[in-house]
Amino acid sequence: MSGILVATTVNGDAVEFVCQPRETLLEVLRNRLGLTGAKEGCGTGDCGACSVTVDGALVCSCLVLGAEVEGRAVDTVEGLAEGDQLHPLQSQFIKHAALQCGICTPGFLVAAKALLDRNPDPSEEEIRYALAGNLCRCTGYDKIVRAVDAAAKDLRKQGRKA
Partner 1 sequence: MAHDKHFTNQEFKVVGTRVPRPDGVDKVTGRARYGADAFAPGQLVGAILRSPHAHAKIRKIDASKAEKLKGVKAVVTSADLPDLTNGRRDMLDILENCMARGRALYDGHAVAAVAAIDAETARKALKLIKVDYEVLPHVTDVDEAMKPGAPIVQPWVRTAGVDPAPTKASNVSQISTFGHGDVEAGFAEAHVIVERSYKTEQTHQGYIEPHACLASVNPDGTGELWVTTQGHFVFRNVCASLLGMEVAKLKVTSSEIGGGFGGKTHVWIEPVALALSRKANRPVKLVMTRDEVFRATGPTCSTSVDVKIGATRDGIITAATATLRYQDGAFPAIWGMLGAMTSFACYDLKNVKSVGYDVLVNRPKVAAYRAPSAPMAAFGVESTIDQLAAEIGMDPVEFRIKNAAKEGTRASYGPTYGPIGIGPTLQAAKNHPHMKAPLGRNQGRGMACGFWFNFGGQTCVDLNIGVDGTVNLTVGTVDVGGSRASMALIAAEELGIPYERVRCNVADTVSLGHNDMTEGSRGTFSSGMATVFAARNAIEVLRERAARTWDIDVSKVEWQDGKAVAMGSEHSNLSSLSIEELAAASPNTGGPIAGHNEVVADGAGVSFATHICDVEVDPETGKTRVIRYTVIQDAGKAIHPDYVEGQFQGGAAQGIGWALNEEYVYGDDGRLQNPGFLDYRIPVCSDLPFIDTQILEIPNPNHPYGVRGVGETSIVPPLAAIANAVSNAVGVRMTHIPMSPPRILKAIKAHRAESEAAA
Partner 2 sequence: MRYEAPKTMKEASALMAKARGSAFILAGGTDLLVRLKSGLIEPELVVDIKRIPATQAIARTASGFRIGASVPCAALGRNSALKKAWPGVVEAANLIGSDQIQGRCTIVGNLCNASPAADSVPALVAAGAKVAIVGPKGRRTVAVEKIPAGPGRTSLKKGEVIEAIVLPKPKPKSGDAYLRFIPRTEMDIAVVSAGVNLTLGPKGVIKSARVALGAVAPTVLLVEAAAKAIVGTRLDDAALAALDAACQAACRPIDDKRGTAEFRTEVAGVLARRAARIAYQRAGGK
DSSP string of 18-56, one letter each residue: EE-TT-BHHHIIIIIS---SS--S-SSSSS-TTEEEETT
**Contacting residue, 35, 58, 136, 150, with partner 2 by CB under 8 A:** 58
Q: Does 44 bind partner 2 (CB under 8 A)?
A: yes
User: Which neighbouring-strand residues pair with 57?
Assistant: 54
Q: How far is the CB of 76 from partner 1 (least distance, A)?
A: 7
**Contacting residue, 8, 51, 92, 139, with partner 2 by CB under 8 A:** 51
Reading phi first (left if > 0) and then psi (alpha if -120 to 50, else beta), residue 161 is in beta
What single DSSP character describes residue 98?
A: -
CA gap 65, 93 in Å, rounded: 30
CA gap 70, 146 in Å, rounded: 37
CA gap 141, 64 in Å, rounded: 27
Q: How far is the CB of 6 from partner 2 (least distance, A)?
A: 10
Q: Does 141 bind partner 1 (CB under 8 A)?
A: yes
Q: Does 37 bind partner 2 (CB under 8 A)?
A: no
- List residues binding partner 1 (CB under 8 A): 1, 20, 22, 27, 30, 35-44, 46-47, 49, 76-78, 80-81, 86, 89-90, 93-97, 99-106, 109, 125, 127-129, 131-145
- List residues binding partner 2 (CB under 8 A): 1, 4, 21-22, 24, 43-46, 48, 51, 54, 57-60, 62-65, 67-68, 70, 111, 114-115, 129-130, 132-134
